[in-house]
Structure 1
């Protein structure tokens, strides 16, 4: 019964620790480390803890094989977790950067994305003339009626592997609407001609998109005349004139969406209210920032769930690795620990020293795993299927917050992996341990 109660208490300690640890910001951890340092420097038991810890660390080289199991296992957990979270963060950040609060996008009511939205010409004209839309120097509203279609193109280095690439038909006002888009090679397309400009991301991922190349799309020959960069999801697209794209893909005069430049972010409510009150329209209105952020929510959530699930499974394995390593270390040092207790070292320094040793090994593993992911994956370009059932090119983003998350996971694994061996070391009978060979 006593053993059962002790085990239940330790599980409760682990649960409370994990709850507090997950919620604790980095400032709290720094304070906690400072308090621990002061305790070890200013109190008798703290100094005893440091002495025992120093002895334990000095024998790590003698236990290099078993200690490396802890370090490598935790490095693997942290590496996989941070890489998966960096993928979801990079994808979400790419889409969030695509929109802003100065522009609004209008789709047919109930449409989840531009690909399944259809607006006729009359509806598009009503949207463009709505209150709140900024007028250009010529007195005309700054707006772009746009059409999004999908084409199959081969990936670079994989001629037999096609992927969906979005082609966006845009109007002449798109350059004022999306001033982040810059031509970096070649020129803009000419309205009315079958010419395309391609995003840098699409050009890096797919074959045949160099300036001057010709593409066969929808039974028509198109010429690539320029390359643009925008540092957002638009770099995954090919752009052409709306009317040319609509003609090639037999879309008549309809468009998928209308994007407008607002007088100011505050004008959005007026713009949205006027469209909602118009009986001729049934549309959904949102800022481009909200629209593109929403497009990333589903996949980002899936990637985070997968990353955390895989991380938990691997963490369980790493915990068992740490348990085995520290139990073996305590068994090898049983006489040493018993001798320390016999000459006056109490249970607290023994427990704390074993915990510190395990968490220092865990910290080393976490730093290695997080560092490797940052070196290898930060800025790494990849593509995945987006809301328009087409490829979105994005870059992994290994932020400081993700690195800190990885380190926290490593320390949590070290805490759990060291707690049970530490308690066993403190409860080891002195007379029994001294008799062991």
Structure 2
């Protein structure tokens, strides 16, 4: 807006570049807005004769604010983007009531394209869990072994989620049936600390035990103001349960899990940015599979680890955005039986020790590059972009099987007496 009150409006391209033409020199007030960011308004700008360069920095919405605005905007169709999209913002994830607020998957079910099965696997647009490409900050994070979304990180570190279910861009080479993109918070020049459920509870069933406890912590701020920032989000999950149908002292299970997401951003200049991400998951269950028909001896000790690291370099040069990134991740899953006794299948349950010791390890290396030129105007608007995506997978599996005995009833009229292997 100029000093006379005349307003001028434009939209940026995908790289954030915008331009005004044929403006007179003088003083102006600039305003910039984008969903998920704080409104930037009242920015004083002075234009001189000739070309001028202006940089506007928008901050992500991170504080809780309440605002009610009633309006009737006209429905507009963006002819440049035909992809079918659904999004969740950080506020949506925080405010929508779900059974387990510490699990991001529970909040993602609020999107109409996503459902969750009894095994906590997500299905997007009716597809199998492994047929969706899961992306975090531009890199694939689906499990290298199964392709499902097994990575966990603090719900409070999620800035937004987006589902693309139809007319997917060619920029996603492994899209399958759909795309689920997750964005996480970066740090800025303000110090921030947050915590949820920091105090543990006590469970007095079968003695005194640490109860269900799901604390979350976030911490972010500047390592060098105006240039170098960090953001760290830590989550811990502890679950304790009792199977009342089993004998006392052999009827409890305990699960531990934890995750840590560390993000770094370093600005060499306003046109050259470097991003780094480190995600680590660890989960352990001492009696996986414990239930009324399967006692502790038949369970397995489960150990799961997941690590992910990425580095992305972004450079704006000669009105062109260059982006280059590399990432590596590893997934390890191990099931260990409680002993080496035969696994016995009974009519009314099981006994002995589970028959299989399983260990799986998957590794993935990926590299992405993108080039996006500024729009050109000639009989319309034209924008050229190109990219490449290279990935490699390595899979190892070890399985050791033991003895299995299936017993039948000795007396057809007595279903509780079992003898003679079948």
**Fold similarity call, TM over 0.5:** no
Structure holding more strand per residue: 2
Structure holding more helix per residue: 1
Q: In which range does the TM-score fall when normalised by the shorter chain?
A: under 0.3
**Which TM-score applies when normalising by structure 1?**
0.19
Structure ranking higher on relative contact order (CA contacts 8 Å, 6+ apart): 1
> Is the radius of gyration larger for structure 1 or structure 2?
1
